[in-house]
């Protein structure tokens, strides 16, 4: 991420800040299927980076309109969980569609996703105000509400809370690990779904962890803002 200059009215001894676009996405219901489980409808406790990236690409009008260097930081929290029935359309052994069947599928309620973008702020602000395609999170029926505001980020550690953290990042307190679960999530998926980049991420679904994370940035509330790996599918290696 690129740092910008400090405001003129800030003390010369104050640490430099950067300007970021904070995107808040809310939805009454969200369900994101775990792609590691074929044939069942296991749901994830948070959207993977690839899903958030797909939503941003929808706002821009497709991946062709998105910079290859696009990165973001994110946090996610849901107030509750539940299970309902959804029509499942399986494929048989030959790859053809078999008869649809009802399957249980988990969902999250009262979901709030926060995304921080530090590059092309004005452009993303315009895109998210007037998205080219409808913005969804997970299932096609999970419509979302999006608001944006410009914020300042300070360099240095921040509280873990509900941040999604790349595997390997450590709390400031030596010898500890981030709270929550280590998940294997897709970071980027090619448009034909033949290639996927997988990475490890720490996520605490409770959002209550006060651990100080050795983050690159923190927001005005002291929350850790950790840039995730690049998400553009054009950066995926070609199939040999």
> How does 84-95 read in b/e, with b if 16+ C-beta sit within 10 Å?
eebeeeeeeeee
Scan for tokens 């009215």, then name that residue: 9
The CB density around residue 39, as the number of other CB atoms within 10 Å, is 9
Inter-residue contact 105 to 83 (CB < 8 Å): yes
CA angle centred on 192, ends 187 and 195, rounded to 5°: 45
The CB density around residue 175, as the number of other CB atoms within 10 Å, is 6
User: Could you state, in chain order, the average pLDDT of each consecutive group of 10 residues for the chain (240 residues)?
Assistant: 45 78 96 79 90 96 96 97 83 76 87 97 97 89 92 96 95 89 95 91 96 93 96 82
- DSSP state letter for 13: T
Return the pLDDT at 1: 45
Euclidean distance between CA atoms 42 and 171, whole angstroms: 30
Return the pLDDT at 11: 56
Return the pLDDT at 14: 63
Return the pLDDT at 5: 41
pTM metric for this prediction: 0.87
Return the pLDDT at 239: 59
Return the pLDDT at 20: 97
CA angle centred on 145, ends 78 and 191, rounded to 5°: 85
Return the pLDDT at 122: 97
Return the pLDDT at 3: 41
Return the pLDDT at 63: 95
Euclidean distance between CA atoms 18 and 69, whole angstroms: 18
């Amino acid at each position: 991420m690129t740092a910008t200059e400090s405001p003129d009215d800030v003390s010369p001894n104050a640490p430099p800040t950067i300007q970021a676009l904070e995107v808040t996405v809310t939805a009454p219901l969200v369900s994101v299927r775990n792609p590691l489980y074929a044939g069942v409808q296991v749901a994830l406790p948070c959207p993977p980076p690839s899903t958030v990236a797909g939503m941003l690409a929808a706002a821009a009008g497709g991946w062709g309109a998105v910079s290859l260097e696009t990165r973001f930081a994110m946090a996610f929290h849901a107030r509750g969980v539940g299970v309902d029935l959804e029509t499942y359309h399986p494929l048989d052994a030959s790859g053809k569609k078999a008869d649809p069947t009802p399957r249980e599928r988990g969902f999250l309620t009262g979901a709030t996703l926060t995304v921080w973008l530090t590059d092309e702020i004005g452009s993303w602000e315009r895109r998210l105000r007037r998205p080219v395609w409808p913005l969804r999170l997970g299932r096609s029926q999970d419509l979302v509400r999006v608001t944006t505001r410009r914020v300042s980020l300070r360099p240095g550690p921040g509280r873990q809370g509900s941040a999604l953290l790349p595997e390997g990042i450590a709390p400031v307190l030596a010898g500890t690990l981030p709270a929550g679960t280590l998940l294997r999530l897709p970071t980027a998926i090619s448009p034909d779904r033949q290639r996927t980049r997988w990475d490890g991420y720490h996520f605490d679904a409770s959002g209550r962890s006060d651990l100080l994370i050795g983050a690159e940035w923190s927001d005005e509330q002291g929350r850790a803002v950790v840039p995730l790996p690049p998400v553009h599918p054009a950066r995926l290696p070609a199939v040999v």
